[in-house]
Amino acid sequence: MKGIILAFLILFITLFSRAQLTISNSAPDSLIQNVLVGSGVKVSDIKLIGSSRGIASFSDTKETIGLPNGIFLSTGRAREARGPNTSNTRSGILTATMEPVKDKDLVNLARGNIFDKTAITFDFIPEHEHLSFSFVFGSEEYPEYVNSQFNDVFAFVIEDESGNKTNLATLPDRKTPITVNSINQFKNAEYYIANFKRDIKSIGSSENNKLRYYWFKKQYGKYPWEMNRDSLERYSVLRKDYEFDGFTTVLTIEEKLIPNHKYKFKIAIADVGDKNLDSGVFIKGGSFSSFKSSILSTAIVKVNSEVNQKPQALKPKTLIVYFENDQHTLNQQEERKLVQFLDSINHNDILSYSITGHTDSIGSDVYNQRLSNKRIESVQKHLHRMNISSAKITKHPKGERVPQASNTSHQGRAKNRRVHIEIYYKEEHINTDQ
């Protein structure tokens, strides 16, 4: 009997531990060399700027925010980013000083005083001309302090041998820095995911709270206290695992470089306006890599004047699979279609896999965003069964934002419940006739 109980406890603990986000502080050299860096990149001269408590590795077997593992930089104590989300005011102050921190790159972006900076710098030499990596930004400043002075900011600053600097942490326009004020529930909302704290339903209906949560009613049609708990759960999809009150979707950067030349790289994040409320950036493990060809269907370019041409977009091999209403698993017919498609490909010739998930318009924006990500994960499992590395896979959950048919009819909605798989070949295996 004791043996049965012990076995049950071991099983329970194992399952419970697998279901949680883990965050572990590690030495900066190990985080960069063993966690962040993938293929085609040699790094050196790694330096931490700020408190070691603000940087860590993370692992999330559920890929709740779309990333399985990687490195994490925070303006607070990194371990406090782990959920459940029980507070909307988490403030893990890193240093005792109340004086603003100096960092020209971040100050220029923030346009205000910065505090609790965490940064890491290193030199690297790319073997190939296309540098790429993926990340997610999260913050406790969401949603209450959107469009305020507390515009927490981060940067990925690359510097070439001539001293030319570029911040890669921007929106697709390559100009707008990614901050609390540039991606949120009102602006560029297609890149935003809300994560309300557990007790948001218990907020009282005072006049002050009506003003404070007016944004919520504007976006979702009701105040939090007017919703039933089941409906509210749809807007709290991440809270069990992550503390931050809002996140970006997974964003992928690609930059064209000169192979075998040395570059400096800085990852930096800071509070803006005061030391309160933490923010952080999660960077996918193994994704800081260089490739011979673009891994995106349209490449983002330009570090300096020597590199000023867009590489030719690769023509991918594609498949679309469809899902039944409110489902994230494939039926037998669609699963068979996916398996036959994957079996027809020599995966040794493949450079990268792009998976884009979509939904119809039934349900809230946040719920559909989450559903599209689950559909991507359903397809991704088939790739993992073929021993395809996560570092080669980019995921793009689009929710209901990109319909291919009208959502006013049953037939149209059925066409919108889909996942696009795009497979890009290595340059030497491109068939120009395909």
pLDDT score at 426: 67
Is 213 among the domain residues? no
Q: Tell if the pTM clears 0.75, that is, is over it.
A: no
Domain count within the chain: 2
Domain that holds residue 190: 20-198+236-291
Is 337 among the domain residues? yes
Q: Are residues 328 and 257 in the same domain?
A: no
Q: Are residues 350 and 245 in the same domain?
A: no
Is 225 among the domain residues? no
Is 222 among the domain residues? no
Mean pLDDT by 10 residues, the chain (434 residues): 46 43 87 94 95 90 85 88 63 59 79 84 95 91 77 90 93 85 82 67 69 66 69 54 84 91 94 80 94 57 30 65 94 91 84 89 83 91 84 84 88 94 68 43
Report the 3 state secondary structure along the chain. Answer: CHHHHHHHHHHHHHHHHHCCCEEECCCHHHHHHHHHECCCEEEEEEEEECCHHHEEEEECCCCCCCCCEEEEEECCCHHHHECCCCCCCCCCCCCCCCCCECCHHHHHHHCCCEEEEEEEEEEEEECCCEEEEEEEEEECCCCCCCCCCCCCEEEEEEECCCCCEEECCECCCCCCECECCCCCCCCCHHHEEECCCCCHHHCCCCHHHHHHCHHHHHHHCCCHHHCCHHHHHCCCCCCCCECCCEEECCEEEEEECCCCCCEEEEEEEEEECCCCCCEEEEEECCCEEEECCCCCCCCCCCCCCCCCCCCCCCCCEEEEEECCCCCCCCCHHHHHHHHHHHHCCCHHHEEEEEEEECCCCCCCHHHHHHHHHHHHHHHHHHHHHCCCCHHHEEEEECCCCCCCCCCCCHHHHHHHCEEEEEEEECHHHCCCCC
Q: Are residues 287 and 326 in the same domain?
A: no
pLDDT score at 12: 39
Look up the CATH number of the domain holding residue 385: 3.30.1330.60
Q: Are residues 48 and 152 in the same domain?
A: yes
Is 334 among the domain residues? yes
pLDDT score at 304: 29
Q: Are residues 149 and 259 in the same domain?
A: yes
Q: Are residues 43 and 148 in the same domain?
A: yes
Q: Are residues 118 and 167 in the same domain?
A: yes
Q: Are residues 172 and 270 in the same domain?
A: yes
Q: Are residues 402 and 256 in the same domain?
A: no
pLDDT score at 194: 77
Q: Are residues 115 and 40 in the same domain?
A: yes
Q: Are residues 158 and 242 in the same domain?
A: yes
